[in-house]
Amino acid sequence: MIPFTTNIIICIIQFFCVVLINVVYAFTQFGMEEALLTSIGFLPILITIFMQRISEKKRLIVRTFYLLTIITSYVIAVQLNTVGMLVMVFLASGVTLALFSDFGIMLEYSIISVVTLVVSAIFQMEKIEAICAPEIYLSYLALYLFAQVALLFMIKGVNTYKEQMEIKNEEARNALEAKSNFLANMSHEIRTPMNAIYGMAEILSQRKMDREAGKYVQTIQKSSESLLSIINEILDFSKIDSGKMEINEDEYSINTLLDDVLSIITFRLMKKSVKLNVDIDPGIPRSLIGDELRIKQILINLLNNAVNFTYRGHIDFIVYWDYIDEYNGNLIVEVRDTGIGISQENINKLFTAFGQIDTRKNRNVEGTGLGLVISKQLLNLMGGDIKCESVVKEGSTFSFHLPQKVRDPRPCNYKANYSEIRKENDEFKVTFMAPTARVMIVDDNKVNLQVAFELMKRFGFEATLVDNGMEAINKIDEHLIDYDVIFMDHMMPFLDGVEAAKKIRALDTPYARDIPIIALTANAIKGVEKQFKEAGMNDYVFKPIHIDRLNEVLSKWIPFDKQIRKLSTGSKNDIYSEAQNGRLQGATGPISFDITDNLPGVDVEDGLRNCAGNKGVYIRVLQTFASSNLLASLEKFYQAGDWANYAVIAHSIKGACNNIGAKKVGEIAYEMEKAGKAGDKEFIDRHHILFSRQYGDMVKIVTNAVIMQTKKDFG
């Protein structure tokens, strides 16, 4: 379909030509005076151009244009005694008018123009005879009628075809959405029992059994991992395909990311005679801002491909940094292998969905064929791109660039001997103590409060804990204590952190106006900093809370005269080592029973990391998690259909689970939180029972572990 503006231009040009011909005819036959009178025909063109600038009503513009052209064409024809030529003029205008494909407008034009021609034939036949014989004019009139009917049928057919195409397009869109929803739902439904199978196999693998049974359990574990990987790929693909994939940018350590990736790939290469060469640019900034999870996924996809298709030789993993300016740059990665290679005609198929190259030859290679597709689309979502160069039987090189923001510009100094990196770079940055500091922490989630409280103790003070925004407002209004800083949770029921901050600032006292308010948030999304700033907040800390970031924020906002500088810090690895050797004190005395062996489904190392590596703190957080069951609140809001508060409770569950390392339940809570925010009742109805059961099961697991710990400690 031709755009409306183009159609108008065509109509104007056509009528301009008609008027110009009449002006020239008037000048040659009757002189300048008649030519000037005939130029009145340009008036409809000027009016149409003016209306197009001041009005967006397309039908009004077209209707005005065709009425004015009919009137001025008739006036000019009468003036120049060329009424017999009106049939040709009206036919030319009708053809251009048909380009709008508007049946109603065309019908109006046909009726008015035919009536004008018939009236002219009845009352002005003497003027018509000056151009042509009456019978010829009547023949022209009959042909004009036929042409108008043909144009009307043509427009009707075009409109019918357009409607059918729109219906088919809508059906295609619905089919695509149904496919994406089906893939997403099936992936979720399959992943749930698969997680259970893998979890049970993991528990069995830790028990004593004979060699044959051990092999069976190991087979179950490996098969579960493979199937879960495939399901996760399908789920990611369906999210990207339906436009639901979110990129969550947050601060991350490049050393930690690379160490995690290389640990996985090194394990996969143990049974292959393939050497892994690692070349990491030591000048890469130590801390970047981006989606760590998705970057890790891309790197693992590329390295897994290299492992799968390389049977001898080596794999080169090269990472370097290209500075754009002080705060921005490109992370550039190359993965080279000496594998089977890819022919030039097949390279483009690499990034096609379900398009594993030469499946007959590669039948022993597991996968959906989606890894590279997902990697490319994720890179595109994050502003990067990927390319491939390959020679058959010689090897392949996959490379990508990815824009990232710089958080900490100090060089990462990652060495080829990456197993030593944690000892050199992964340190806690507690640079000062502030025993006289007064800090308030506001969070409706008891686990989050416990974690923040324990982390604050590392700076020498005990924070005041408040579990709702209104109480925080009252404390500031009463002003019985001079707090130095308020840490305010972003999402809380009834009164969220943003509103609470606004109300504190609205108290309009010097104390309420000036006290630093720091947002605590798990929503690492674009624009959130602006929202906090507009609410009167001074800074923000993403959850789970990293000790480095907490140190940075506290040192910035706690009065300098209350800070006592430290000369040295301890290594995270040392703390982990002490915790695992049982030398740290627990919540109620020496740890004589390892609670971490009884937490299936919990990434204990991640939980310890969130507690600054302190096992005693971690046990106290587990105790708080066990005692703060949110199932009742979740069910209450579900039954009431209060999706906004349902989302808030899901958000709290997500934070609590992520704090202890229960990532899988945290992921489900995140999906439910998003559904609650969107008011997606259908999604919540489908997954509420599963979500409640998995969260309830996690509470039971942690509760049982805490009970066993207590029994062991006190006999």
Residue 584 predicted with pLDDT over 60:
no
Q: What is the pLDDT of residue 366?
A: 45
Average pLDDT over every residue of 107-129: 88
Q: What is the pLDDT of residue 213?
A: 81
Q: What angle do CA 48, 53, 55 make, to 5 degrees?
A: 85
Q: What is the pLDDT of residue 422?
A: 43
Per-residue pLDDT band for 626 (boundaries 50, 70, 90) equals confident
> Cα separation of 60 and 83, whole Å?
28
SS3 state at 646: helix
Q: Phi/psi at 591 (nearest 5 deg)?
A: -85, 110
Are 299 and 320 a contacting pair, CB within 8 Å? no
Q: What percentage of the chain carries pLDDT values higher than 70?
A: 80
Interval 152-211: pLDDT, tens: 999 888 888 888 888 888 887 777 677 666 665 665 566 556 666 766 676 676 567 777
Interval 292-350: pLDDT, tens: 878 888 898 899 889 888 888 999 999 999 998 888 999 999 999 998 888 877 777 77
Beta bridge partners of 440: 464, 486
Instruction: Mention every residue, 6+ apart, whose C-beta is less than 8 A from residue 271.
Output: none
Are 579 and 614 a contacting pair, CB within 8 Å? yes
Report strand pairing: 439-442 vs 485-489: parallel
CATH number at 250-425: 3.30.565.10
Average pLDDT, rounded, for the chain: 80
Cis peptide before 544 (omega within 30 of 0): yes
Q: What is the pLDDT of residue 5?
A: 85
Interval 210-265: pLDDT, tens: 777 877 777 676 666 656 666 666 666 555 655 656 777 888 889 888 887 887 78
Length reported for the chain: 715
Are 301 and 375 a contacting pair, CB within 8 Å? yes
Tokens of 529: 């900093």
Q: What is the pLDDT of residue 560?
A: 81
Average pLDDT over every residue of 684-698: 89
Q: Does domain 432-551 have CATH number 3.90.650.10?
A: no
Per-residue pLDDT band for 434 (boundaries 50, 70, 90) equals confident
Q: What is the pLDDT of residue 713?
A: 61
Helix (H), strand (E) counts: the chain:
27, 14
Q: Phi/psi at 208 (nearest 5 deg)?
A: -75, 130
Q: What is the pLDDT of residue 715?
A: 52
> Cα separation of 549 and 561, whole Å?
21
Q: Does domain 595-714 have CATH number 1.20.120?
A: yes
